[in-house]
């Protein structure tokens, strides 16, 4: 079915947003995306208990177009679920689907056939299916991981703390001394 390794390298494009997401739900611990919409879908997969694992760029399909020309198509992601049949997905913005549906239909038919043969379901997902309230909640909970690191302060703080710990009052005193800030007497 799927070898759980990407079959196509994602190359930089003039348009698009390429990047990586660390994840424990792919074989190599990285999910590479080529659009913000794909990134959002991978975040949903990462935080969905029903998703066992997923693989971006999972399989390259061979098909013949209506002109008799041999073509290749690599869907965006294969998702294995704990509680139902797997899914093979193409992630596209609704505007692009609407504008290019005729161009894409032959490759999507090939993906539907492959999915049926392999006990999976093929779907084209747009921002309507991906950018839901759940996605916003996932994004919100990732808040601190999207911030710049405070690593420069970590070593200073660590040096102030004794191995056996300190009380809140002691910590406030140590910090006020280190930062040369006057401490409120009410603390």
- Each residue of 132-179: pLDDT tens digit? 998 888 888 776 555 555 555 556 666 666 666 667 777 777 777 777
Question: What token pair was written down for 172?
Answer: 């406030």
Query: What SS3 state is found at 54?
Result: strand
Give CA–CA dist 7/152, Å, rounded: 40
Domains of the chain, by residue range, sit at 19-146, 150-182
Place of tokens 């603390």: 187
pLDDT of residue 95: 96
Query: pLDDT digits over 65-123, tens only?
Result: 999 999 999 999 999 999 999 999 999 999 999 999 999 999 999 999 999 999 999 99
pLDDT of residue 20: 86
The answer on pLDDT for 6 being more than 90 is no
Helices 151-160 + 168-179 axis angle, to 10:
120
pLDDT of residue 169: 76
Mean pLDDT of 2-26: 69
Mean pLDDT of 36-57: 94
Helices 133-141 + 36-46 axis angle, to 10:
80
pLDDT of residue 144: 52
pLDDT of residue 115: 97
The answer on pLDDT for 14 being more than 60 is no
Give first-to-last CA distance, the chain, whole Å: 63
Question: What token pair was written down for 134?
Answer: 């759940």
Query: What SS3 state is found at 81?
Result: strand
Give CA–CA dist 59/143, Å, rounded: 33
pLDDT of residue 166: 67
Residues contacting 179, CB < 8 A, separation 6+? none
Nearest to 57 by CA among 10, 114, 123: 10
Domain 19-146 falls under CATH 3.40.50.450 = no
pLDDT of residue 41: 96
């Amino acid at each position: 079915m799927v070898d759980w390794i990407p079959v196509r390298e994602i190359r930089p494009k003039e348009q698009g947003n390429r990047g990586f997401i660390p994840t424990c739900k792919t074989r190599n611990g990285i999910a590479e995306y080529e659009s913000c919409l794909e990134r959002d879908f991978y975040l949903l997969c990462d935080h969905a208990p029903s998703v066992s694992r997923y693989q971006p760029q999972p399989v390259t399909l061979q098909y013949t177009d209506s002109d008799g020309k041999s073509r290749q198509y690599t869907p965006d992601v294969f998702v294995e679920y704990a509680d139902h049949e797997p899914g093979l997905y193409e992630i596209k913005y609704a505007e692009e689907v609407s504008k290019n549906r005729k161009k894409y239909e032959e490759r999507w038919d090939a993906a539907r056939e492959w999915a049926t043969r392999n006990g999976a379901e093929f779907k084209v997902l747009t921002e309507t299916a991906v950018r839901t309230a759940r996605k916003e909640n996932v994004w919100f909970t990732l808040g601190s991981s999207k911030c710049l690191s405070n690593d420069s302060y970590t070593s200073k703080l660590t040096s102030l703390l004794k191995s056996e710990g300190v009380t809140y009052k002691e910590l406030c005193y140590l910090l006020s001394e280190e930062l040369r800030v006057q401490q409120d007497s009410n603390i």
